[in-house]
Structure 1
């Protein structure tokens, strides 16, 4: 029995020893190699290479090459597959095993099938299988001596155009100013000093550029890009020895400051941008929208860069591995009339203000202006720190985009209050109040607060007189008669606190708090906490000439025209009444906009002077307003505001604008 047990144990031990000493198969070894490959553990993969393969490439080169290729080509989702056969074959000294590889790259998917050769080698006292690696394992077509090519084809940025196809932001050219060191001559120091002054650079910046490691005496050293239109600067620069120029591609803004806030500009992409936009196809050399529609429409304008990954053979032939065709950015056509835009901007020169012009029937935004502006060409080409500081410290705040903000509207609000009152039935055309004082309060419960009027007309003041002479006391009393609910509901019908979708982000007009009779009275004539944006203001006059409908403003020519934002706000009868009264604001010799009278051209409108102050009795900052339109052929409503100005100045400028349009 003991002998039989001994024999059984001996057989089992022999089997175990035999199993432990079994040589690994090439299939098992390659499976291990493939797992490391999928995990991109290139340093461990190198240990699986055959002696001949190791003679052709060091470990450092092997790891570095794989890492560089996979990083440069943005290889992702790597999947190397090898399926072991169900039955292992007998292999003598070598084995050929098929595998497939799939991966995503910057240029799209790459996949291939290939055969791996494994050889049996004895190292130290162990025999094992090793991969007879060569460059074709990276890509089958990549032979020794071949090179990988990664070509980025820059997408052309889409243009921004006005309604007639005039370029507002286009792909053009600029002048690259530079120096050729060997041609500066004996006046080198003087030339550098003069160039620094003209380009608003420091001499240190120029000398640093000239001392770069790649610079040679006969090479062009770029310094700064400038506008090709600045001929005076060109003449001064290029009259000096060694100062040269090259034409380079650049984003151009032909209308400069007049459209700077609406269109914006592009600038170099930053490291932070690249991190935030990872995976969206940006490269370190790209430009990106920095303000205005260039920023708002970045995705549409940018397009998609083309990428081609290929192998360049030793004989110069090219084998494409993957390619993503370039997709140029899309052009955007705006409803803007660039002539109207420029003319309105010119009327605001030297002032801080804003203006809008819309077609009340179609909703097309014909102009949207903030003044002063800045030169977007200068911003794109690279504004100096000194120039930027000057702009930032300018009291007129040229970097402030006023048309996207809301402001206290003052008396341009009164036609809206009129419409709300008439439509609610709580105000009649012949409603009149006896007003003889400059200041008024409902009763003693108002304390020291009083409403102040600026009209000197006394006696029975009806609705027409109140609008023509802009009587605050009349509208304060009218609002109290309507009540808070009726007034607030009416404002919401006119689009307050309800900004519809619009191509450019603009703050919605606000009602604020109307939590007292004083606030209600003040709000009726555009004070209190009422705030409006200039585009909405122009739109609120559209019901008077658009069958009672509040038009929805649009900015993109592709948007549907004539969309009604709010329907049936004003009856035909009441619209005719308001138009007649607003015409008299201009035609009546005592009307607040009489200085806007144009011979043989009917114009209706309303002035406003809003005052921003901490408390009653103090002198605050004034905002002058005017809204105007032709009531007989209303194809444009213009709204303008100027800071630190009375309304008469604004009326004169809007009048000049209409006179130019008549020529």
Structure 2
């Protein structure tokens, strides 16, 4: 009984609510202004059916409900209409004048309008035309949202040479109706030349929009460089020549992101590709859509936020001929920022060409300003391959290559060998633990401190006459001298001094570099043997090439290490102060001149007649034990023009893997000489 009463009460309440709504609706339909407001309110609620029910009979005879709903829905939802407000200016018999303000995807839209409203069967109804959507809109007109594409920023070298930016690629297309009578053979040949499968091409030809007389895009290729004689460019030209021999194939230019220096700058500049679903999810409110490209590696990734432009948009009414009739709203596009690097593209390419057959890396820097002039890793890959679409075979080829062309060597740390000796010498003098003219005594080609070292001994390559002092030890690259020097300096002092020189610290540079280390655990050398080996750049010491260049820069800057920078907008700053004493700097600079100028110096092969060079070589052994004969060697050469000033100083730090049985560091010295001859400033 109680349950029955509750049901009766609920039913009564619902009836009262429904009656109230009917009374309210009937009441508002008695006022033209109320009709206008209700109609406009329905737009934001997407109640297009209700809007149609408010039309007069003549309007409903002219446009069906389906046509009305589709037209209004497509326009309002297509432009992202929201926050719709109206202000009534004047109400007169049969019409209401008003102003509409609404937000759209392209910005705010404002317009005055007039709605004709008249009584029909005792109620006010709307005489509808397309002009009620927008006053300029005719029945045959269309409303479209047009994307104003933003340009991605370019990357330039210090002289304005393009390293990454807008260019052209070759777009290979096929007109199905012009294929030969044996299309299967044509498709097979085309697939072979494009490194694709036949099914991939057939899938493109099977798209719904494809017609016999339409050009179907198949694949992008790098544009033929007619001025190049490289094997890769010649092969590309031959492939495109053979493609054009296939009936129906057309090759045209298509705008694209390009990398003019290709392999030369790949590890530095990187590449872009289409945005992934995961990337889009995290960036959908930052001007990206499913068609966006995004930096995947190198500077393209590092500077993505600055390079990426934000598309604009405009909402346009087009007439039936497709001509622009009116622009309702417009948000201008915001192009990406151009990046100007301190890199010298000519030097970058010359270094790459010199070492492209080696596993190597080179840092070129102005040691007085910190400007990084080149960052090269070899072997390399072509960034353009990722833009045009890398084939599965090419991807496997790169990843299976034993020389690891995808591996960025200038970001890594390496055993520095004797290239660290000037740093150890400077540490010894600065700490007061080492006198430059102190004679450590000759010990032949093999030495150990005492019998506690067991079967282990330090070896060196060159015997020499004269004092075993710092100068001769650097000229002849005497491992034994620097082993003794390290023991004299002591583990704690050496560790503290290397920390002061940036070991274990993040390198303050735009591109993330692996930090250098003096031990694997960051603690001082735990044994005398490890300490002795560290003195000549072995043990557990690993150094990043850019960090090594910055340490050498202290010899130019009265003991202060320069902060390296990559953009021309940067400025000269000190990274670490008072790393070495002025007396240490003076001594080391004098000795490093002798390494090049002295006929017995390990770097003498790089001597130039018109430029006073200074530097240091290094041959680092990579082996599991002292008796290991299967290990490899790294060759180093650090060289600079001693008389350089702020405008024309150049320091090169080069590391080459696998120089064993190829001359050790002398291999690097000899290969670097032609670079020095062309690019090292004359005195």
Which TM-score band (shorter chain)? Answer: 0.7 to 0.9
Q: What is the match of residue 638 of structure 1? A: 652
**How far did residue 558 of structure 1 move?**
1.7
For residues 624 and 61 of structure 1, what CA distance do their matches in structure 2 show? 77
Question: Are 1:288 and 2:297 matched, yes or no?
Answer: no
**How far did residue 539 of structure 1 move?**
1.9
Of 194, 200, 208, which residue of structure 2 is paired with 1:199? 194
Which runs of structure 2 are paired with 1:594-613 in the superposition (5 Å)?
594-599=604-609, 601-613=611-623
Q: What is the match of residue 276 of structure 1? A: 282
Question: Are 1:533 and 2:544 matched, yes or no?
Answer: yes
For residues 444 and 563 of structure 2, what CA distance do their matches in structure 1 show? 41
Question: Are 1:508 and 2:515 matched, yes or no?
Answer: yes
Per-residue CA deviation, residues 143-197 of structure 1 (Å, 9 max, x unaligned), is: 4332102222322333222222222223222222223333333454433332222
Of the structure 1 ranges 157-166 and 204-213, higher mean CA displacement relative to structure 2 is found in: 204-213
For residues 408 and 129 of structure 2, what CA distance do their matches in structure 1 show? 61
Q: What is the match of residue 233 of structure 1? A: 239
Which runs of structure 2 are paired with 1:299-310 in the superposition (5 Å)?
299-310=305-316
Q: Structure 2 length normalisation: TM-score? A: 0.82
SS in 2 for 1:258: helix
Of 159, 179, 182, which residue of structure 1 is paired with 2:177? 182
Of the structure 1 ranges 382-391 and 474-483, higher mean CA displacement relative to structure 2 is found in: 474-483
Of the structure 1 ranges 372-381 and 495-504, higher mean CA displacement relative to structure 2 is found in: 495-504
Q: What is the match of residue 6 of structure 1? A: none
Of 159, 162, 167, which residue of structure 1 is paired with 2:157? 162
For residues 621 and 501 of structure 2, what CA distance do their matches in structure 1 show? 23
Could you list the runs of 5+ residues in structure 1 that have no partner in the other structure?
1-15
Q: For residues 139 and 450 of structure 1, do their structure 2 counterparts lie closer, same or farther at Cα, with a shift above 3 Å needed? A: farther
Of the structure 1 ranges 191-200 and 338-347, higher mean CA displacement relative to structure 2 is found in: 191-200
Per-residue CA deviation, residues 364-417 of structure 1 (Å, 9 max, x unaligned), is: 111110111112222211221111111111011111111122223222112112
Of 460, 463, 468, which residue of structure 2 is paired with 1:461? 468
Q: What is the match of residue 102 of structure 1? A: 102
Q: What is the match of residue 73 of structure 1? A: 79
Question: Are 1:208 and 2:226 matched, yes or no?
Answer: no
Q: What is the match of residue 304 of structure 2? A: 298
Q: What is the match of residue 658 of structure 1? A: 676
Contact 2:52–2:68, Cα closer than 8 Å, also in 1: no
Question: Are 1:542 and 2:553 matched, yes or no?
Answer: yes
Question: Are 1:24 and 2:27 matched, yes or no?
Answer: yes
For residues 24 and 614 of structure 1, what CA distance do their matches in structure 2 show? 95
Q: For residues 148 and 592 of structure 1, do their structure 2 counterparts lie closer, same or farther at Cα, with a shift above 3 Å needed? A: same
For residues 44 and 521 of structure 1, what CA distance do their matches in structure 2 show? 88
**How far did residue 345 of structure 1 move?**
0.8
For residues 587 and 515 of structure 1, what CA distance do their matches in structure 2 show? 36
Q: For residues 84 and 242 of structure 1, do their structure 2 counterparts lie closer, same or farther at Cα, with a shift above 3 Å needed? A: closer
Q: Structure 1 length normalisation: TM-score? A: 0.84
SS in 2 for 1:207: helix
Question: Are 1:218 and 2:227 matched, yes or no?
Answer: no
Contact 2:443–2:480, Cα closer than 8 Å, also in 1: no
Of the structure 1 ranges 505-514 and 372-381, higher mean CA displacement relative to structure 2 is found in: 505-514
Q: For residues 68 and 92 of structure 1, do their structure 2 counterparts lie closer, same or farther at Cα, with a shift above 3 Å needed? A: closer
**How far did residue 121 of structure 1 move?**
7.1
Q: For residues 46 and 363 of structure 1, do their structure 2 counterparts lie closer, same or farther at Cα, with a shift above 3 Å needed? A: same
Q: For residues 515 and 544 of structure 1, do their structure 2 counterparts lie closer, same or farther at Cα, with a shift above 3 Å needed? A: closer
Contact 1:426–1:481, Cα closer than 8 Å, also in 2: yes
SS in 1 for 2:367: coil
SS in 2 for 1:222: strand
Q: What is the match of residue 592 of structure 2? A: 582
Q: For residues 174 and 95 of structure 1, do their structure 2 counterparts lie closer, same or farther at Cα, with a shift above 3 Å needed? A: closer
Per-residue CA deviation, residues 108-164 of structure 1 (Å, 9 max, x unaligned), is: 233445566677777xxxx97777665455444434332102222322333222222
For residues 270 and 393 of structure 1, what CA distance do their matches in structure 2 show? 25
Contact 2:339–2:567, Cα closer than 8 Å, also in 1: yes
Q: What is the match of residue 10 of structure 2? A: none
SS in 2 for 1:530: coil
For residues 129 and 501 of structure 2, what CA distance do their matches in structure 1 show? 75
Q: What is the match of residue 4 of structure 2? A: none
Of 647, 650, 653, which residue of structure 1 is paired with 2:665? 647
Contact 2:381–2:406, Cα closer than 8 Å, also in 1: yes
**How far did residue 295 of structure 1 move?**
2.3
Per-residue CA deviation, residues 549-572 of structure 1 (Å, 9 max, x unaligned), is: 322212111222x32223343444
Contact 2:88–2:99, Cα closer than 8 Å, also in 1: no
Q: For residues 534 and 109 of structure 1, do their structure 2 counterparts lie closer, same or farther at Cα, with a shift above 3 Å needed? A: farther
Q: What is the match of residue 11 of structure 1? A: none
For residues 300 and 564 of structure 1, what CA distance do their matches in structure 2 show? 26
Q: What is the match of residue 146 of structure 1? A: 141
**How far did residue 477 of structure 1 move?**
3.4
For residues 574 and 458 of structure 1, what CA distance do their matches in structure 2 show? 24
For residues 167 and 305 of structure 2, what CA distance do their matches in structure 1 show? 20
Per-residue CA deviation, residues 483-530 of structure 1 (Å, 9 max, x unaligned), is: 344333322332334445433333333444234443544433333443
Of 623, 636, 650, which residue of structure 1 is paired with 2:634? 623
Q: For residues 202 and 565 of structure 1, do their structure 2 counterparts lie closer, same or farther at Cα, with a shift above 3 Å needed? A: same
For residues 542 and 614 of structure 1, what CA distance do their matches in structure 2 show? 33
Contact 1:451–1:473, Cα closer than 8 Å, also in 2: no
Which runs of structure 2 are paired with 1:330-409 in the superposition (5 Å)?
330-409=337-416
Contact 1:480–1:517, Cα closer than 8 Å, also in 2: no
For residues 111 and 531 of structure 1, what CA distance do their matches in structure 2 show? 66
Of the structure 1 ranges 354-363 and 568-577, higher mean CA displacement relative to structure 2 is found in: 568-577
Per-residue CA deviation, residues 269-296 of structure 1 (Å, 9 max, x unaligned), is: 3444333321322344443323222222
SS in 2 for 1:254: coil
For residues 133 and 277 of structure 1, what CA distance do their matches in structure 2 show? 42
Q: For residues 237 and 66 of structure 1, do their structure 2 counterparts lie closer, same or farther at Cα, with a shift above 3 Å needed? A: same
For residues 101 and 199 of structure 2, what CA distance do their matches in structure 1 show? 53
Q: What is the match of residue 334 of structure 2? A: 327
Contact 2:49–2:65, Cα closer than 8 Å, also in 1: no
